[in-house]
Amino acid sequence: EGGIERHQYDVVVVGAGGAGLRAAIAAHEAGAETAIVCKSLLGKAHTVMAEGGIAAAMGNRWPEDNWEVHFRDTMRGGKMLNHWRMAQLHAQEAPERVMELEDWGALFDRTEDGLISQRDFGGHKYARLAHVGDRTGLEMIRTLQQRAVQVGIDVFMECTVTDLLKDDAGALSGVFGYWRETGRFVTIEAPAVVLATGGIGKSFKVTSNSWEYTGDGHALALRAGASLINMEFVQFHPTGMVWPPSVKGLLVTESVRGDGGILKNSEGKRFMFDYIPDFFKAETADTEEEADRWYDDKKNNRRPPELLPRDEVARAINSEIKAGRGSPHGGIYLDIASRRDPDFIRKRLPSMYHQFKELADVDITQEPMEIGPTCHYVMGGIEVDPDTELSSVTGLYAVGECSGGMHGSNRLGGNSLSDLLVFGRRAGEAAAAYVTGLAQRPVITDESVRAGEWSALTPFQVEGGDNPYTIQQELQQTMNDLVGIIRTAEELEQALVRIEELKQRAQQMSVEGHRQYNPGWHLALDLRNMLIVSESIAKAALARQESRGGHTRDDFPATDHEAWGHKNLVVRLDEAGTGVTLAEQALPEMPDELKTYFEET
Ligand code: FAD
């Protein structure tokens, strides 16, 4: 087939969501020749789907807000498992990153005084999310994309990276991938690679994530020798659509609750008051009157329980449905119609209004929505150095949802968009600095390219094997049923057995047809990633014998600070290279001056 298309850069960024774009801009500004590779069209990343906003303690609504309060909220939301240094940098730098977006042309909603408006979200003490209606991600991606293209960063669109390449000495030398359209292979030589591939949601049946989120970055990093942390922590967003079936899992933004929406069961009861955990009692209203007053007077009232962190709300909804108090389609009711007037709803939540009108024929200004939990976000990801986002592999950086540590066991809403900006910039700068300092650049060897080709083409060599769609469906069902919101040892063990079987079958998958635009083949390649990521989640979930944040064990319902409050589970590729191993690792020690923020609790 002739030679493979080859390119050369200083830094290659895999992923064009907020994290990838921000990293690329920073690398470029630091003088590095930079390319971005993305699996789908530029602009079509998860980031674009983000609705609620970007969390940053700018203090525009509440002058009392500052990085210390944001840091504290983030750590408490993550049940203290976050890497303290990441949470600190994130809280300190998020306001600058938002202001910079504005300098680059982002048009945020304003306060009456003309400042960037900030809205309430779960787990944040003060109204803190900078937003553009409920289309914040769209504005963010538009701004970053424009900037990236303007400064002349090259973009490889609809190009999927399937392998990270290394030279003979084991140094990272670039990436190997294929063009979706032609199926032709391409290599990009670069001493530094920034992974910004987003999440893993497609391993679950009910999810708010789109087809791209197959954990590619997680798996690429593992196979290159990097470690993953926090993999047992998967965030189930409390409010996804449950009806009609074709859109089951589609996100209903938390802003509905931030703007006054409440949760009710089939008996019409506002049930969240029954589910306030001790950990959050002091800051949560215990009567409807106080909760309702809070929207206008936050100083003298405590927050409504509907705005507890996501893990708490998702579990409560799950319990109500299980207890037989669900809605006709197996969800629960989210009601803003009876709480706010139609104009307010249409203005603040335009996308939600249209989403329900068009997809479910429900007018959310008149009737409640039916909603239920949906797999939304993975806290777990590639373990990185907090200041530079460097993984344990020299030259390999990771940012955004595919990295781990920042959010601990549970991410607060709005803290992802800010995470992308803060750490995207840091990673881009660090990657560029690393390349500048290199005396000699690793080169892509023919052998590594052949290995990439060989492994990508394997599914064409097999005849009569399973079809990748069958394996994907079984994996999604397994993860949903056995590694979902509520977990037990027995079910997790079963899940691991099934994943092992699926891995065996996946080695014998066959795909039909040619390399030109062949979604079956693409899925076959994605599946390898989905399987190893699913195994990582299930193994870590089985090992962690407690409930904390996004990980709930029915057989270990308590949060066990003594046994589990001071360590992470780390996942690495096993010796055979086909599965993963787990190890425990002590959490980094928080400096004393930061500890003082948590003393009163
Ligand atoms: P993404 O934006 O997911 O981008 C990943 C990129 O990687 C894409 O360009 C993709 O094509 C590319 N890619 C993946 N694999 C490969 C590969 N193998 N080769 C090449 N390219 C690849 N967070 C908030 O803070 N506030 C919100 O209001 C909010 N709302 C949300 C609403 C929805 C519906 C969803 C799904 C998420 C929401 N989140 C929100 C979470 C947040 O949007 C994501 O966590 C975040 O956008 C992830 O950004 P990222 O840059 O890490 O990756």
pLDDT digits (tens, 9 = 90+) for 19-69: 999 999 999 999 999 999 999 998 889 999 998 899 999 999 999 999 999
Q: How far apart are CA 395 and CA 190, in angstroms?
A: 9
For residue 529 and ligand 1, the question of a CB distance below 6 A is answered with no
| Per-residue pLDDT at 1 | 44
Q: How far apart are CA 526 and CA 160, in angstroms?
A: 10
Q: How far apart are CA 536 and CA 202, in angstroms?
A: 15
Ligand 1 atom nearest to CA at 18: 51
Q: How far apart are CA 509 and CA 229, in angstroms?
A: 30
Sheet holding 34-38, edge to edge: 154-157, 34-38, 11-14, 192-195, 396-398
> How many angstroms is it from 423 CA to the middle of ligand 1?
14
| Per-residue pLDDT at 311 | 86
For residue 14 and ligand 1, the question of a CB distance below 6 A is answered with yes
> How many angstroms is it from 421 CA to the middle of ligand 1?
12
Closest Cα to atom 37 of ligand 1: 50
Q: How far apart are CA 364 and CA 360, in angstroms?
A: 10
Closest Cα to atom 12 of ligand 1: 15
| Per-residue pLDDT at 182 | 96
For residue 47 and ligand 1, the question of a CB distance below 6 A is answered with yes
For residue 414 and ligand 1, the question of a CB distance below 6 A is answered with yes
For residue 161 and ligand 1, the question of a CB distance below 6 A is answered with yes
CA dihedral 17, 223, 587, 96 (to 10 degrees): -20
Read off the tokens for 186.
């391409």
CB 23 within 8 A of CB 13: yes
> How many angstroms is it from 49 CA to the middle of ligand 1?
8
Q: How far apart are CA 196 and CA 154, in angstroms?
A: 16
Q: Which residue among 156, 197, 247 has the greatest number of ligand 1 atoms within 8 angstroms of its CB, and so is best to mutate?
A: 197
Ligand 1 atom nearest to CA at 208: 36
pLDDT digits (tens, 9 = 90+) for 164-201: 999 999 999 999 999 999 999 999 999 999 999 999 99
Residues annotated as part of the active site:
237, 257
Q: How far apart are CA 311 and CA 48, in angstroms?
A: 23
- How crowded is the C-beta side of 466, counted as CA atoms within 13 Å? 18
> How many angstroms is it from 555 CA to the middle of ligand 1?
33
CB 442 within 8 A of CB 485: no
User: Could you give the C-alpha distances from 577 to 350, 472, 572, in angstroms and in order?
Assistant: 48, 21, 10
CB 284 within 8 A of CB 302: yes
The whole-number mean pLDDT for each consecutive block of 10 residues of the chain, a chain of 601 residues, reads 86 98 98 97 90 94 96 96 98 98 95 93 92 92 96 97 96 97 97 98 94 95 98 96 92 92 97 94 96 92 93 92 92 96 94 95 96 96 98 98 97 96 98 96 96 94 92 96 94 98 95 94 96 98 96 94 97 96 97 89 46
- The position carrying tokens 């525009």 is 60
> How many angstroms is it from 46 CA to the middle of ligand 1?
3
Q: How far apart are CA 466 and CA 96, in angstroms?
A: 51
| Per-residue pLDDT at 600 | 62
CB 178 within 8 A of CB 159: yes
For residue 198 and ligand 1, the question of a CB distance below 6 A is answered with yes
Q: How far apart are CA 48 and CA 569, in angstroms?
A: 31
Ligand 1 atom nearest to CA at 220: 18
Cis peptide bond upstream of 591, omega within 30: no
Q: Which bin fits 336, alpha (ψ -120 to 50), beta or left (φ > 0)? A: alpha
| Per-residue pLDDT at 2 | 55
- The kind and range of the H/E element at 297 are none
User: Could you give the C-alpha distances from 582 to 80, 360, 540, in angstroms and in order?
Assistant: 21, 43, 7
Ligand 1 atom nearest to CA at 210: 36
> How many angstroms is it from 393 CA to the middle of ligand 1?
23
Ligand 1 atom nearest to CA at 16: 9
For residue 160 and ligand 1, the question of a CB distance below 6 A is answered with yes
For residue 258 and ligand 1, the question of a CB distance below 6 A is answered with no
CB 233 within 8 A of CB 410: yes
> How many angstroms is it from 394 CA to the middle of ligand 1?
25
Q: What is the DSSP letter of 102?
A: H
- The kind and range of the H/E element at 256 are helix 255-258
Amino acid at 89: L
CB 585 within 8 A of CB 570: yes
- 44 phi, psi to nearest 5 deg: -100, 65
The residue among 310, 309, 405, 429 whose CA lies nearest residue 87 is 405
Q: How far apart are CA 322 and CA 596, in angstroms?
A: 40
